[in-house]
Amino acid sequence: MPDGAGEIRLSLEGLNCAQCSATIEKKVAALPGVTSAAIDLVGGRMRVSLSGKEHPEELLSSIRTVVSSVEPGVMVSEERSANAPSSLPKGDMIRLAAGAMLWLAALFLPLGETARLLLYVTAYLTAGIEVIRTVAGNLRRGTLFDEFFLMTAATGGAFAIGEFSEAVAVMLFYETGELVQSLAVERSRRSILSLLDIRPDRATILEDGEWKAVRAEDVTAGSTLLVKPGERVPLDGKVLGGTSSLDTSSLTGESVPTDVSEGSEVLAGSVNLGGTLTMSVLRPFGETTLSKGLRLIEEARERKAPTERFITSFARWYTPSVVVLAALLALVPPLAGLGGFRDWGYRALVFLVVSCPCALVISVPLALFGGMGAASRRGILLKGGNVLETLARTKAVLFDKTGTLTRGVFRVTEVHPSSFMTARELIETAAAAERGSNHPVARAIAAAAGGGQGPALPVEEFPGLGVRVVLKGREILAGNAALLEQHGVSVGGDPGTKPGAVVHVARDGRYAGFLVVEDTLREEAREAVDRLRKLGVSTVGMLSGDRPENAGKCARELGLDLWEGGLLPAGKLDSFRRIRNEAGGTTLFVGDGMNDAPLLAAADAGFAMGGLGADAAIEAADGVLLRDDPLGAAEAIEIARRTRAIVWQNIAFALGVKGLVLVMGAFGVATMWEAVFADVGVALLATLNAARILQAAGARNG
């Protein structure tokens, strides 16, 4: 049962009521030893944080008791797979069908009054037994003002004033509507979750000279993995042999297959479209880029957006307020001589039926979760609905340069040897020093010399300066001018202010020359800038730790509004805060490096590049761009604004229809039929409207 020290995760199968989930959270959080409880309604999960490291089995029993007291029929168990199969609620369907047949018999058969009343009562109990049972349990525990109480009071009141047929019909249509709404919620839920659970459970690895199928979570880094055509890659790895094309659309939203060959890095979740691949596993199951992304989304569904929190709070006082108004409506006008108690009592019952806030409480989080699902289809993982609301208000977007607007893939563009060395000798000498380093500039120099030629020598690294190696007794230095000067080597030549990284080289204490290594601009960067401007983003800029001349060249090519180069992490943070104040609104930052982590954490919203990004940057960010594509920032803002529009459509629609029917009911114009539509019908329509954002994303992705 434990998921980790001080926390357990449970599956809540059959929970579709948002108001009930809030009650369960509150009651579970009040249990001894529990510090907090968070329910992910879309995922059907609950995370319970504990005050100690012990997870007694008695706690699970207590949680089951709480859940059953609030929502009977919900199954509580250890967390299941997101894609566990679900079945139609056949028992509820049979019960409602039987209730409908009894109601029709009472309505149309030629019966005496007593027999007709008996059939109505039987039909009512058959259709509403679960509602009545829940209300009875809640009353014993002192819980009132939930949707079940309102519906029981309204239909019971209808019986009291002789509206037998309408009472049964309202309960029947309420329960039928709840069933249809539950199925719609489940469909939306599974549409979202289907985007997320794309990790294969099995992997084929080489063990004792044979290929064996094992659980993916049991595979360790360094293992040799076999991926056959049509299979999904189970773990992050580097191709050892074979060539193929990979479908990465489930990860990045990119529909064009990616070609891979020996040396290519492959992410878990990709589908092998071509030949057989052998791979070396880079990261274990729980540390793959995909696993980290899925964890982000699981945690995100527990983070409530401000609008969602407001709606939940609103529902807590809205329902009791309407109950009080209904009581006043039933009593005050008759006592004032404005009509009979039966007429005003009926109007009060309409009030009760309308007052259920389900349409708001379920449709708002569904729309937000739908927005997160739509973003995930485009390779954008968001850490919560609150991020969507922040993105929708974006006024300025600032980018890091290297690895964000540029590919972080360098190439040698200039070679300037000293008089005693040829250009080829200078490249080979520099490569001998850099071949043992994983720095992008070092890899570019090694590639210019012929990639893997020559052994990787033991490297002495000087952070921020360069490296030193000894090759056949000869000392080689490669780095900036400060490194050579520290070792007593005078730097010759004049690199000036060339764009790119200047790498000075010395051999045996003599200056050998310098190389210029430049980054390559991403093709999508210009489109990202243009899309952001079309979205009305007032400021698009860049903050870089690279040399000002490099940053300036990149900014001019992209047509950025502003840029700053040569910034240390603290300087980046200061510049960001100043620019945010000048922009006068929500500011998004997109970066990838370790040095971007403080800024990503401080920004109104921060995006890390998921493939190239450092772990610290991904942890600090509010979202992850799996495609390593700055265009994802613009797409995220588009999705956020579309989601916000749907959220407010649902709020306006639900409040508008409910308000209209409440007024009509108070004046005796609306009946319980309209009241049922204002409750269940509006909730169903709002749920279907919330699902539109997924359909839009699917159409675009297709």
Residues known to be catalytic: 400
Among candidate residues 583, 38, 82, the one with its CA nearest the CA of residue 301: 38
DSSP per-residue string spanning 516-549 = EEEEEE-HHHHHHHHHHHHTT-SEEEEE-SS-HH
What the block records as the tokens of 376 is: 């995930």
376: buried, middle or exposed (CB in 10 Å: 19+, 13-18, 0-12)? buried
Distance CA 347, CA 327 (A): 10
SS percent in the chain: helix, strand, coil, step 5: 50, 20, 30
Cα 636 to Cα 374, 383, 442, 536, 700: the distances in Å are 9, 12, 34, 14, 14
Alpha helices (runs of H) in 259-305, residue ranges in sequence order: 289-300
How far is residue 345 from each of residues 146, 292, 670, measured CA to CA in Å? 20, 57, 13
Token reading at 371: 């927005």
Expressed in angstroms, the distance from the first to the final Cα of the chain is: 39
Using the structure block, give the residue that is written with the tokens 């090759």: 471
Distance CA 124, CA 307 (A): 37
Amino acid in the structure at residue 596:
D
Angstrom distance (rounded) from CA 398 to CA 41: 34
Answer whether 514's CB lies under 8 Å from 505's CB.
yes
Structure token pair of residue 44: 């059907």
CA 561/CA 551 separation, integer angstroms: 13
Name the one residue in this structure whose structure tokens are 């019966």. 111
Residue 346 makes CB contacts below 8 A (sequence gap 6+) with 157, 158, 161, 163, 668
Q: How many CB atoms lie within 10 A of CB 241?
A: 13
Phi-psi region of 254 (alpha: psi -120 to 50; beta: other; left: phi over 0): beta
DSSP state of 67: H
Residues with Cβ within 8 Å of residue 300, at least 6 apart in sequence: 372, 381, 382, 383, 384, 385, 387
Q: Are strands 586-591 and 605-609 parallel, antiparallel or unpaired?
A: parallel
- Cα 45 to Cα 298: distance, rounded to the nearest angstrom: 9
Answer whether 559's CB lies under 8 Å from 527's CB.
no
| CB contact at 8 A, 617 and 601 | no
Q: Which residues neighbour 7 within 8 Å (Cβ) at sequence distance 6 or greater? A: 47, 48, 49, 50
CA atoms within 13 A of residue 513's CA, in its CB half-sphere: 19
